[in-house]
Structure 1
Amino acid sequence: MLSVALLGVISLVLAVVYAGIKEQKRKRVPPGTRPLPGPTGLPFIGRVHDVPSVATWLKFWEWSKVYGPIYQMEIFGSVHVWISSEEIANDLLSKRGTIYSDRPTIPNLPDNRTSGDYLALLGRTGTWKRQRKVSHQVMSHPTAESLYNYPSVECKRLLYKMSKDPSNYISHVEQYTSRTISRLSWGAPHFADELRIGTFGLLTTISPSGAVPNIVSWLSHLPAWLSPWQQVENARHARERKFFHHCYESVKSAIANGVAAPSYMKVFLEEKEKGKHEMRDEEGQYIVGMIAIAGALTIGSPLQSYILAMCHYPEWQERLREEIRGVCGERCPEWEDRERLPMLRAVMKEVVRWRPPVPTGIPHCLEKDDVYNGYHIPAGATIHALEWGITRDPTIYPSPESFLPERWLSPTYPTYREPLTHYPTLKNHSQFGFGRRTCTGVDIVEQELFLVMGGMAWAFDIRKKRDEEGREIEVPLARYTSLLIAKPERFEFECGVVEREGEERGMRERADFESGDAGWGLSERDRDSDVDGDVDGNGKEVLVEKEVLVKVECVEVEGPQAWR
């Protein structure tokens, strides 16, 4: 019987030979074309040794300043093309979307293109087209236009949590994003804890810096009993599948009992009952589950970057409060105020530009050989729209390293657009992808960022912390996590409650929520702990009344009471 070591050596040799054959075929450039420029590397491994383990996007951006706005490099036999020009990205990924809309295989998730479990990562297949159509159907349903007021409800919880313990801001922000998308996906917030665990697990699985096979791709060919990464991934996927099925069954049960809150899964099931689609329930579980994971993954990054920006540019808080006061008086801004708050939208968009949540972009894969401006791009190449580089083009973004929300508000900047009742907006922003792979959840992102950034500006004065001698404690500007979705590493700051003229110090007001109306209020457990909400036997969140710090008035609206 062959030993484990010998089998490992055989697997390695076969992988190297296979990669070598692929490399020789790929290097044949058709007559009349030339290869893209780029850094030369060592045989087989390329320049992988020059790519840092953190802030990899800075190295790719550095190379773009040497080799131009489109260049290629090789890593372990695979061709990677990096684009740092929005014009080129649109030329290829949007205008030539028929061949640039595929996704590459993720070595640590080898069935991502074909399994039907990962909508955003699926290849350009019939399954992807069918699932994308149904996802649009549930997210754009007329009942979902206002997002059921869930972002507003959860924003007030976040402000309360921040007022009690700002040092735990990362947890508060992550709870906000996961609870909001949990409500949207399944009608209740109590799925959020497990969703956060699953979200981090998938992010680690797909990130180049999260799992070794994503860099050393031949490791994905090892048998499961030789691959600890595959064993971890198999366990993660099994837990994920069980969780999504549990959420689906909970919504089905709530519908049967007549107590289901509005949600994407509820729309999916009701539309299927009406014959609007024929999607299998198993696929629907993963469609809604992937919407939930995408919503929990990305939105926390710009919210944490906003806090970072306010530590370094506190003058923008004053300007925001002045705009909010002029439009909203002493109340917290709501989504309905957006047309009259262009500065808030400008700050929101500038945060996303200044510190893009996905600085390397979500990769595409080229389906067949292509030629661009005389350059040959080989089939199978992984195409990266380097968002960090795109948002640092000085011809479009003067002083790109500076935080300048006015670039969206002043006609002196090339990014200015009218009318200001609509612009600036996150729609069509490069951060949300190109062509047929554009993010379908931009409306969710825009509303959540608007409410939370506006709420924080209204409620808090965020500043750098001071030491015992009164000196400011420095907050690092560029220290971000290394996974695919980058977030600022934890930092300290002061978060004082804004006092308002004519109001009692500390601003106390009452939040009254009707008990038993699932999804519309905050339980006492929600307010006073970091554990997600209690649920009764029918899937309803148990709600109580309690006085809350840092809030706004609560008025009667049709249906249950809601924050205004």
Structure 2
Amino acid sequence: MAAFISILVVLVLAVIVYRYWYSTRKVLPPGVRPLPGPKGLPFIGRVHDVPSTATWLKFWEWSQEYGPIYQMEIFGSVHVWISSEQVANDLLSKRGSVYSDRPKIPNLPDNRTSGDYMPLLGRNDIWKRQRKFAHHIFSRAQNESQYAYPTLERKRLLHELLKNPSDYVYLLEAYTGRTISRLAWGSVAPAPQLKIDAFGLLEAISPSGALPNVIAWLEHLPAWLSPWQKTEKARHDAENVFFQQSLRDVHDAASKGEINPSYAKTFLEGKEKGGWEHEEWSYLIGMMAIAGALTIASPLQTYILAMVHHPVWQAKMQEEIQRVCGDRCPEWEDRANLPVVRSVVKEILRWRPPVPTGIPHRLENDDIYGDYFIPGGATIHALEWGICRDPVKYPDPEAFRPERWLDPSFPSYREPLTEFPNLKNHHQFGFGRRTCQGVEIVDQELFLVMSGMAWAFTIQKKKDAAGNEVEVPWNKYTSLLIAKPDSFEFDMIVRSEEKRKTIVQDGEAVENV
């Protein structure tokens, strides 16, 4: 047994040595040079310099040294980092025919080909088919009553925050899970399991969650030697059962005439005409739900962090809401008249992007950009943290300044303010053929919850027994791919007795809906 393991290790090391040797011997065309970047150690590259948390800060530091596009290696894999929106558009959008693939995730070995992970699928016929179906789903959702779900769940959220503001992380994640469960399956019943599955997938694909995602050759170990493969198989099997059962439950409800508008309802109505298969589409619907559950809670938590540190913008939102809506809570239909609210929403995403490293692309063939050579097979990262800190487009980029979307003196300002700012075509949602298709529902949920919290509560720093404000860290994050601020203490004070009564009445009215 020991001899076998030794041979296996030697073979794996031989593969790594060969890949490194081959990459260093590649002859470039005349007049073309490699991308700049930090020089790595043989075989391991610069993995030892990348911190286990807030990795994007190191990649941003390197971009300030090496420029808006550079490359580095991690265990023989080439990673290209882009911190310029212009460069990202030039490559990922304008050259989408070769930049729209997804890299293989070592801990998720079938993400590119199996059809189980639409946002992570390779650029193939399965992805094209699923993306077309997703477009159909979102188009139908706009024309049905599905977009009433975020407002319904907001009433419950405000009531729960009134009762237990210290549970804000759980409550905000419950809001996103319940809302997307209604959208996906027309029911909140799947929400608890959806949260478990969403976190499990996030761990499976995050560099800090599974070692093979950093040391890729570990994926070649046989299953009996790999604890990661065993964990991933158990996670995937449970996920498969959950997605399949959730769609069957909608089918059973439809047979009893109890079906609610949802993505699953759209599937069932078009199943025969479209030739759609139950297993594939159960996964597609499930993945759309997971994507929504993972990302939206992050900026909602960041909103509370921002209001603690920048109460002046909370006051500006409250003044605008009072002027436009009077004593009632803002609705989605009020958005044209609430540019301050929309500016805070957009600045939250810029100040603390929920996916700061971006979702990676994969270059299919060798490419030349200017006089730089980009090797085929490289993993391409649009570094959102860097793009959001372009000092030309976003002056004073480290500061939380929603006025950059309202003041004509800022480069990011656009007119008319009845329409702008909004999240449409925002680089936060990807580039080219990989742009997120669910931007409108994200925009709606963020607008409704942030405006609802501003209407209902004043958020401020907590004071200790001596009356001193308790400091709140603004630059500590969770360690996984989706960045969320670490939990912290604060006070959330209901703004009036009338608002308290409205929140309680609305919350109790939807408790069992």
Shorter-chain TM-score category?
Answer: over 0.9
**Which residue does 2:468 correspond to in 1?**
471
> What SS class does the counterpart of residue 462 from structure 1 fall into?
strand
**Which residue does 2:162 correspond to in 1?**
163
User: How far apart, in 1, do the equivalents of 2:141 and 2:224 lie?
Assistant: 49
For residues 401-438 of structure 1, what are the alpha-carbon distances to aligned partners after superposition, in whole Å with 9 as ceiling and x for unaligned? 10000000110000000111111011111111000000
Q: Pick from 318, 328, 331: which aligns with 1:331?
A: 328
For residues 141-188 of structure 1, what are the alpha-carbon distances to aligned partners after superposition, in whole Å with 9 as ceiling and x for unaligned? 166555340000001111111100110000000000000000000000
Conservation of the 8 A alpha-carbon contact between 1:206 and 1:214:
yes
Cα 1:104–1:142 shift into 2, 3 Å = closer
> What SS class does the counterpart of residue 20 from structure 2 fall into?
helix
> What SS class does the counterpart of residue 510 from structure 1 fall into?
helix
**Which residue does 1:419 correspond to in 2?**
416
Give how far 1:197 is off: 0.2
Cα 1:493–1:142 shift into 2, 3 Å = closer
**Which residue does 1:556 correspond to in 2?**
none
Identical residues among aligned pairs (%): 62
**Which residue does 1:57 correspond to in 2?**
56
Give how far 1:48 is off: 0.5
Conservation of the 8 A alpha-carbon contact between 1:38 and 1:72:
yes
**Which residue does 1:546 correspond to in 2?**
none
Residues 1:300 and 2:293 aligned together: no
User: How far apart, in 1, do the equivalents of 2:8 and 2:459 lie?
Assistant: 55
**Which residue does 1:352 correspond to in 2?**
349
Residues 1:239 and 2:238 aligned together: yes
Residues 1:194 and 2:193 aligned together: yes
Q: Pick from 317, 322, 326: which aligns with 2:319?
A: 322
* More displaced stretch, 505-514 vs 204-213: 505-514
**Which residue does 2:28 correspond to in 1?**
30
**Which residue does 1:81 correspond to in 2?**
80
| Aligned residue type for 2:103 | P
- TM-score norm. by structure 1 comes to 0.89
Name the structure where helix makes up a greater proportion of residues: 2
Cα 1:327–1:50 shift into 2, 3 Å = same
Residues 1:522 and 2:504 aligned together: no
> What SS class does the counterpart of residue 189 from structure 2 fall into?
helix
**Which residue does 1:443 correspond to in 2?**
440
Cα 1:508–1:324 shift into 2, 3 Å = closer
For residues 294-319 of structure 1, what are the alpha-carbon distances to aligned partners after superposition, in whole Å with 9 as ceiling and x for unaligned? 00000000000000000000111110
Conservation of the 8 A alpha-carbon contact between 1:499 and 1:507:
no
Give how far 1:30 is off: 1.8
| Aligned residue type for 1:450 | F
Give how far 1:522 is off: 1.9
Give how far 1:269 is off: 1.1
- TM-score norm. by structure 2 comes to 0.97
For residues 347-395 of structure 1, what are the alpha-carbon distances to aligned partners after superposition, in whole Å with 9 as ceiling and x for unaligned? 0000000000000000000000000011110000000000000000100
**Which residue does 1:557 correspond to in 2?**
none
Cα 1:44–1:512 shift into 2, 3 Å = closer
Conservation of the 8 A alpha-carbon contact between 1:181 and 1:295:
yes
Residues 1:390 and 2:387 aligned together: yes
**Which residue does 1:221 correspond to in 2?**
220
Unaligned runs of 5+ in 1: 515-520, 524-542, 544-564
**Which residue does 1:404 correspond to in 2?**
401
Cα 1:345–1:505 shift into 2, 3 Å = closer
Q: Pick from 270, 280, 284: which aligns with 1:283?
A: 280
Q: Pick from 510, 520, 523: which aligns with 2:505?
A: 510
Cα 1:473–1:345 shift into 2, 3 Å = same
User: How far apart, in 2, do the equivalents of 1:143 and 1:41 lie?
Assistant: 49
Give how far 1:507 is off: 5.7
> What SS class does the counterpart of residue 496 from structure 2 fall into?
coil
Cα 1:349–1:286 shift into 2, 3 Å = same
| Aligned residue type for 1:34 | R
Give how far 1:6 is off: 3.4
**Which residue does 1:173 correspond to in 2?**
172
**Counterpart mapping for 1:365-376 below 5 A:** 365-376=362-373
User: How far apart, in 2, do the equivalents of 1:506 and 1:372 lie?
Assistant: 61
Cα 1:512–1:299 shift into 2, 3 Å = closer
Cα 1:425–1:331 shift into 2, 3 Å = same
Conservation of the 8 A alpha-carbon contact between 2:159 and 2:503:
no
**Which residue does 2:96 correspond to in 1?**
97
Conservation of the 8 A alpha-carbon contact between 1:79 and 1:382:
yes
| Aligned residue type for 2:280 | E
**Which residue does 1:248 correspond to in 2?**
247
Conservation of the 8 A alpha-carbon contact between 1:359 and 1:388:
yes
> What SS class does the counterpart of residue 189 from structure 1 fall into?
coil
Cα 1:254–1:318 shift into 2, 3 Å = same
Conservation of the 8 A alpha-carbon contact between 2:363 and 2:378:
yes
Cα 1:232–1:504 shift into 2, 3 Å = closer
**Which residue does 1:19 correspond to in 2?**
16
Conservation of the 8 A alpha-carbon contact between 1:29 and 1:35:
no
> What SS class does the counterpart of residue 505 from structure 2 fall into?
strand
User: How far apart, in 1, do the equivalents of 2:309 and 2:237 lie?
Assistant: 43
User: How far apart, in 1, do the equivalents of 2:158 and 2:506 lie?
Assistant: 13
For residues 94-128 of structure 1, what are the alpha-carbon distances to aligned partners after superposition, in whole Å with 9 as ceiling and x for unaligned? 00000000000000001100011000000000000
> What SS class does the counterpart of residue 199 from structure 1 fall into?
helix
* More displaced stretch, 263-272 vs 177-186: 263-272
**Which residue does 1:538 correspond to in 2?**
none
Aligned length: 511
| Aligned residue type for 2:505 | R
Conservation of the 8 A alpha-carbon contact between 1:29 and 1:376:
no
For residues 201-260 of structure 1, what are the alpha-carbon distances to aligned partners after superposition, in whole Å with 9 as ceiling and x for unaligned? 000000011000000111111111111111000000000000001101100011111110
User: How far apart, in 1, do the equivalents of 2:334 and 2:301 lie?
Assistant: 23
Q: Pick from 484, 497, 504: which aligns with 2:481?
A: 484
